[in-house]
Structure 1
Amino acid sequence: MTFDVVGTLIDFEGGIKDCLASIAAEAGAAVDGEKALTFYRKARYSPEALRFPDDLERVYMVIASDIGLPAEPRYGKRLRDSAASWKGFPDSAEALARLARRYKLIAMTNAQRWAYEHFADALGRPFHAAFTTDDTGTEKPDPAFFQQVFAFVEGEGGRKEDILHVAQSQYHDIGVSRRLGLTNCWIQRRHAQPGYGGTIEPESFTQPDYHFTSLAELADAVEREKAA
């Protein structure tokens, strides 16, 4: 199984909103977390974007005045550094541990390696291998990212057809994984919330092979199938 990490396993939206709320409290201001995510999304996906999450310093300076916060570099650095303490979704670590008993788990993240190491700690280090933007030199949905993972899997005696790709982002993962011929599973983390939050909206919706609203549901489904 291959996994997107940020947004699927790690609650980056919650981490960003918590950090912005702490900055607002310190500055004697207030911030609307969902509104902030809309501005974040627009700033993050721009030609000036750097690698994530280092790019959060730049993003903060772009959106600060729009969301009513002081445009001070120290706060941008705080937002960037907050990635080290972002939490997994409540079901992530336990579900990954269950899945790892049956499958080799491979992380595929647009985050930099330094951030991934913190994420892996938060998730209980369940991964057999991990590919970050530092490793691949590119970001999903670039097919080149996936091709490097395919080569690794083949090097271990597997095939692309053996992979189940698990992700939250229609834009970064579900659409491109379908085009590349992978079986995929959409974890709809924002099922109870409108819109796409901090993730770019896809041009078109891709119907996944499997669809759950939590990772625990996927782990449950696997265990039911194996027990049948």
Structure 2
Amino acid sequence: MNLADYDALSFDCYGTLIDWEAGIAAVLAPWAAEAGLDLSDEDLLLAYAENEAQAERDTPSALYSAVLADAFRRTGDKLGVAVSDAWAAKLGASVPDWPAFPDSADALRSLAEDYKLIILSNVHREGFAGSNARLGVAFDSIITAEDVHAYKPAPNHFDALDGALADLEVPKERLLHVAQSLFHDHVPAKRHGLPSVWINRRVDRPGWGATPEPSAEYSYDLEFPTMAAFAQAAREAKRAMTV
């Protein structure tokens, strides 16, 4: 794959650009401590992962804040401890507080010099606005779960890409998808025939964390451990074209 062959990049946000595991654990960990549960952050994320995915399947038109609250309650049921409305609401409202990965903003600014940037995210518009303030770039197109009334790995986000690309006057073959989640992104990207790059943010940690293990076929064309490494490779590829 030559990264210079593409004019637009579509990104997953949470897990790729924003550290959603840190954001979720920042609420789940004090709840677990209050409830007397002796569980690590990894234990809590593993218990949580499938509950969020199931809540998204069950209520595809719900705002992400409601999905988070629902997933938290389901996680409490799984662990045998009820989640109060106050705790559920706290997780639901926490998206704007989730930190960006340290390299995300600089990487995006670098990539914006050579590519159109598109967000393809399982979130509501209000939540993404809070996260975008941490990322510091103006995306050329933003597609959220609130816009398409579904959550990845459902096809709706990727179906909506056709219209976004038409508006940006970018041919589909010049689009590259960039994401951390094999489950949420690389499975549907493969179904839609899109080349993709895996940002393997958990490269130094075992297990799946807050993301369910993929049960459907997936693929990716390149793998990088960070956005910084990907942005550097993309910049070098684009500059090589001018030599």
* TM-score (normalizing by structure 1): 0.91
Once structures 1 and 2 are overlaid, which stretch shifts more, 94-103 or 136-145? 136-145
What is the identity, as a one-letter code, of the residue corresponding to 1:59?
Answer: A
In structure 2, the gaps of 5 or more residues are 1-8
Equivalent runs, 1:35-114 vs 2, <5 Å: 35-46=43-54, 47-49=57-59, 50-64=62-76, 66-67=78-79, 71-114=83-126
Distance 1:159 1:190 in 2: 32
Equivalent runs, 1:184-203 vs 2, <5 Å: 184-203=196-215
- In structure 2, relative to structure 1, the CA distance for the partners of 1:35 and 1:181 (3 Å cut) is same
Q: Which structure is higher in RCO with an 8 Å CA cutoff and minimum separation 6?
A: 2
Q: Which residue of 1 aligns with 2:176?
A: 164
Offset of 1:204 from its aligned partner? 4.8
Q: Deviations over 1:138-172 (max 9, x none)?
A: 22222232121122212332111010100011122
The equivalent position to 2:221 in structure 1, one of 206, 209, 222, is: 209
Q: Deviations over 1:99-123 (max 9, x none)?
A: 0111110101011111111111111
Offset of 1:176 from its aligned partner? 1.8
Aligned length: 228
Q: Cα RMSD between the aligned structures? A: 2.0
Asked whether the 8 Å contact 1:31–1:68 carries over to 2, the reply is no
- In structure 2, relative to structure 1, the CA distance for the partners of 1:143 and 1:29 (3 Å cut) is closer
What is the identity, as a one-letter code, of the residue corresponding to 1:104?
Answer: K
Offset of 1:65 from its aligned partner? 5.6
Distance 1:140 1:59 in 2: 16
The equivalent position to 2:31 in structure 1, one of 23, 30, 36, is: 23
Distance 1:39 1:161 in 2: 38
The equivalent position to 2:12 in structure 1, one of 4, 16, 35, is: 4
2:127 matches 1:127? no
In structure 1, the gaps of 5 or more residues are none
* TM-score (normalizing by structure 2): 0.86
Distance 1:137 1:65 in 2: 26
Q: Deviations over 1:28-51 (max 9, x none)?
A: 765421111111112112254544
Once structures 1 and 2 are overlaid, which stretch shifts more, 66-75 or 3-12? 66-75
